[in-house]
Structure 1
Amino acid sequence: NDLPIHPCLLRCPTAASLFYATAVSCFHVSLFGASAPMDNARVPFSSYAHASPSAGSGRGKAFDMRNDRERTRGRGGGSGSGKDKIDALGRLLTRILRHMASELNLNMRSDGYVKVNDLLKLNLKTFANIPLRSHTIEDIREAVRKDNKQRFSLIEENEELLIRANQGHTVVAVETESLLKPILSAEEVPVCVHGTYRKNLEAILESGLKRMKRLHVHFSRGLPTDGEVISGIRRDVNVLIFLDVKKALEGMKLYISDNKVILTEGFDGVVPPKYFQKIESWPGRQPIPF
């Protein structure tokens, strides 16, 4: 309605319609780029993994993963780049190995390992819409090699390749002692910090840090900007909760994963506030009283 219309266009409806359509198209391109379809401009893309409709073996139970953090650029029919293909594979592997082994009837050992060949038989698609069955063992190796958070471990036993997620499990088949290394003294972890958000702080101070659906509460051994910290804390947190490791070890078991995430079951899945050493804002690092 705000587009300026020349008087000549008012005498010719066809010309006016053409002018309007061209103007709207140009406006759309300036906002979304030439490749963005106009009828999708208001609909955000959400990646998901799902069971392929063919070859219904019972293992390919459909599941929806509409999680903004799981988005990937690879879309549709394998048309994404090789990097997108491997990234999408890694994201699906993380989801399966941490959370879905029981649902998919995967034979997972107590230390979290499953056979790669069993994984590649699953009737699922990655977030790039590529069937998992179309991937190779070398693709799995590449996904592990390129994962900058080192979320996976690979081993070979009896000429069979096995893979596991190093931490973050919700499946109860995994035994903590088989998966993780115990921390026996505070000197092993000079810094033990949990990153969170202001909106969560009141609830945390009332009832402690909870493991939620996971097996453990997660801590990092450094700050978000520390180069050696590869996993265990999100980069966009705005509150840091430091654990008093010496005090915690008097009553809790602490562990460290292969990718250096510090984990504890706390007491029945909760780390009470009395074990907090200090709380700071991030990145300003101003003390927050509690």
Structure 2
Amino acid sequence: MTEPAAPTTSTTGTNTNPSSPASDQQRQRPKPQKQNQPRQNQGGNGHSNNSRGKGGTKPRGLERDTPEVRLSKTLSWILRHRASSEGIVMRKDGFVKVDDILRNGRIQSLGLTLDQLKDIVQADSKQRYTLVHERSDGTSVASSAVAGDGAGEGVWLIRANQGHSISTVKVEMKPILSLDDIPSKLAVHGTTREAWASIQKQGLSKMMRNHIHLAQGVGGDNVISGMRRSSQILVFVNVQKALDAGIKFELSDNGVVLTGGDEKGFLRPQFFDRVEDAKMRQALAGWEGRGAIDNKAVAMGSTVS
């Protein structure tokens, strides 16, 4: 906004003549130039983000989220989707060095330590991560089996057990060759009403991820890996029918049923057994499928504690 010309005074009073030299000087006064200041990270220590490698310093999640929730969201986001863009080298099996994670700006802003990371992995109800200490001879030991701080030669590694969108990651899974290979004999996908509008026509899509995720039951009071608690629609999949049609399924380390779908990445509606309203636990019209499912058995499913 242009500043108004300051009034000039004379012995006879205020000068209001717009063509006076004083007014011309006011109009021609150059605007002050903004000086470029170096951008600082959230820590406010004056160092550039480059001191922490690639990526930013703002953690994932909302401001109202607890630090623990933001840490979990940030960790899974990096390990599943953004390791490379954050300057972290990821092996083909999905493992990254814990040192690289702890040096990441977003993680550093939350003050994570190795001991805290061990606690997070052990306490995670959905068993999202695997944390191991890889020795110099190439053998790996689970974090729970390492005494103390794991002192000695070797390196700490961590990975997400599933949910990757990074196509080069090939986490070893257990092949599902028949329904008997699924402990609960169930495979359920939770979704929203909005998404169901297209799913009922096109089927489930892996979208940007490597797999479509299916839980071995319905959450209820227990925690079920592979399904969000906020799910509004439950899609029960006929795994055996899909297997017979050539669709491949796998079982992750934390019990999630995974499939890449058909050649276009879809699991088509022809493989849906039954579709229910998650809250009412009643079948949607036209999707009654094989009839009522034992809700108690479904709720038990394959719970993870």
Cα offset, 1:224, TM superposition: 1.8
SS in structure 2 at match of 1:141: helix
Counterpart of 1:215 (choices 210, 213, 235) is 210
Cα offset, 1:168, TM superposition: 0.9
Counterpart of 1:242 (choices 236, 239, 246) is 236
SS in structure 2 at match of 1:110: coil
TM-score, normalised by the number of residues in structure 2: 0.66
Counterpart of 1:107 (choices 63, 81, 89) is 89
The answer to whether the 8 A contact 1:244-1:276 is kept is: yes
1:113/1:193 CA distance change after superposition, 3 Å: same
Counterpart of 2:115 (choices 135, 138, 144) is 138
Cα offset, 1:164, TM superposition: 0.3
1:91/1:236 CA distance change after superposition, 3 Å: closer
Cα offset, 1:173, TM superposition: 2.1
The answer to whether the 8 A contact 2:191-2:231 is kept is: yes
Q: Paired residue for 2:298?
A: none
1:64/1:272 CA distance change after superposition, 3 Å: farther
SS in structure 2 at match of 1:125: helix
Gaps of 5+ in 2: 1-40, 136-153, 288-305
SS in structure 1 at match of 2:207: coil
Q: Paired residue for 2:268?
A: 272
Counterpart of 1:231 (choices 225, 243, 246) is 225
The answer to whether the 8 A contact 1:89-1:143 is kept is: no
Instruction: After TM superposition, list the pairs within 5 Å mapping 1:96-245 onto structure 2.
Output: 96-122=78-104, 124-126=105-107, 131=109, 134-158=111-135, 159-175=154-170, 178-189=171-182, 190-225=185-220, 227=222, 229-245=223-239
Cα offset, 1:110, TM superposition: 1.4
Gaps of 5+ in 1: 1-49, 75-83
Quick check: which one's helix share is greater?
1
Counterpart of 2:53 (choices 39, 45, 59) is 59
For 1:51 and 1:216, how far apart are their aligned partners in 2?
35
The answer to whether the 8 A contact 2:173-2:253 is kept is: yes
User: Which runs of structure 1 show a deviation greater than 6 angstroms over 4 or more consecutive aligned residues?
Assistant: 50-53, 63-66
AA aligned to 2:116 is: D
1:60/1:107 CA distance change after superposition, 3 Å: closer
Q: Paired residue for 1:7?
A: none
Q: Deviations over 1:196-240 (max 9, x none)?
A: 12222221111111112211111100112163x432112222211
Q: Paired residue for 1:287?
A: 283
The answer to whether the 8 A contact 2:61-2:74 is kept is: no
Aligned-pair RMSD on alpha carbons?
Answer: 2.4
Residue 88 (structure 1) aligned with residue 84 (structure 2): no
For 2:250 and 2:119, how far apart are their aligned partners in 1?
28
The answer to whether the 8 A contact 2:52-2:103 is kept is: no
Larger Rg: 2
Identity of aligned residues (%): 38
AA aligned to 1:263 is: L
